[in-house]
Structure 1
Amino acid sequence: MNDKNLISILVMRDDKDVYRVRMHPWCVKALIYGTILVGLCAVLGGYGVFYFWNENKQLDIDLQNMQNTLLDNNMELKRLRNIEKMQQYDVNGSAALDTKIIEIKNNNTDKSYINLNDIFGSIDKNVLIASNVQAKFIKKFINLSFDINKRNFEDNGVVNGNVVIHIVSSSGDVVDVETRSDMFFELRRMKQYNVRIPIPKQLVKNDIFGIRITINQSPGKTVFRETYLLSNILL
């Protein structure tokens, strides 16, 4: 190749002699094009990172929304199952309750008057309901677990109130109990309770007929009350 087609580059430094570098024109072009290509790849790479980062962020948001939806659906399903159990309890427990009421009436024929409506009368204002009620004897205590659900599934408002628990004896006495758990609630959909109730000193296990659960909505309005036969909820 003719030397006239070469490009000379002079390199000068103060501490060294001047020396010359001779390059072919295509080398210079390759260097320029290579620099442009590297810059273009860097720009495209940066755009790709930004694009896929946004895509990944959106996928995370969609996944979180799906998990929240699944959690809400599971809660709704549990509430529906609880209501179904309550309906089964109404069918199976009403006969036993009627039998026990007749027995109490017969046992108290010659005794002081007992208002059975005060003992077994139920209240349901279609606001809240206690469901999935279960009891278990542990030494001198009763472990009582239940859920409080809203009647209106579409209501997302917050409801405040408290729960009161009584023990109903076989003789028809309603006994107050003390619980170690906080019975106040602030719920949006459902609240679970696990309460440890001491058996009153005047009663033994065989004297306990049922558990009465009363739900009061602030400020002190009773919206639900039901007496649950111990034989139906005992584990």
Structure 2
Amino acid sequence: MRKFLTPMALALLASSGTQAQTSAPPRDTTLQPVAQLSQPTLQRQPGAEPASPESPRTVAIDWDQARADARRQANINAETVTAARLAPELPRPSNRDAGQVANTRLPVLVPNMASLNATQPPTVLLFPRPDFYTLSITGDGLLIEVFGTRLAHAVAPDAITARQLRATDPDDLRVSATEYGQVADFNRYGAAYTVTLECDNPQGDPRCADDVLVRHITRSLVIAAGSPGEGG
């Protein structure tokens, strides 16, 4: 058994299991094909497990690449500590469920809190499951949600559709505007991820008016946890 839970994750989540539960279970998010994730919105409330279509497919994770990236990130963080005596701050979930992240079987990506430029400490909740997770960061009139999954419920019907679903911009992202803000979808290590920004005042808040912030937050994502489990 090869464990893959970074020291960063231990520092991030070690205390979360002892804190009071502050929210209901994860949102009722219907998983879509890996290259075409659904876009969560403020209207959806936390609920039960995701809907399970007839035959979901578990996607293989490239753990070798994930481990290499985690080592590279650890080296960067060490250099930062040496130079500035302050490591990049990561979100610290306040809900008890967060302690189950050791059982999540895909790389758990989280943003560097400094990228949020928050004026007040936000509320951070993490809802991990073996095949997916949702990280929710709320504060300053802004909801940031990071969703990752290793499940796919369909395959592209033909090669042209497959190429269209894989199409990305130079940042390897698929970014789109929504009624409430911005969404960035991307694939990494074989898993699919979505970063969602939603503003309380989407028309008047410049953070949701364009894709600058959602790209900045997506670029700040680092591996905080995840394990292939037995034999991985």
TM bracket, shorter-chain basis: under 0.3
Larger RCO (alpha carbons 8 Å, 6+ apart): 2
Larger relative helix fraction: 1
The TM-score normalised by the length of structure 1 is 0.23
Larger relative strand fraction: 1
Q: Between Structure 1 and Structure 2, whose CA radius of gyration is higher?
A: 1
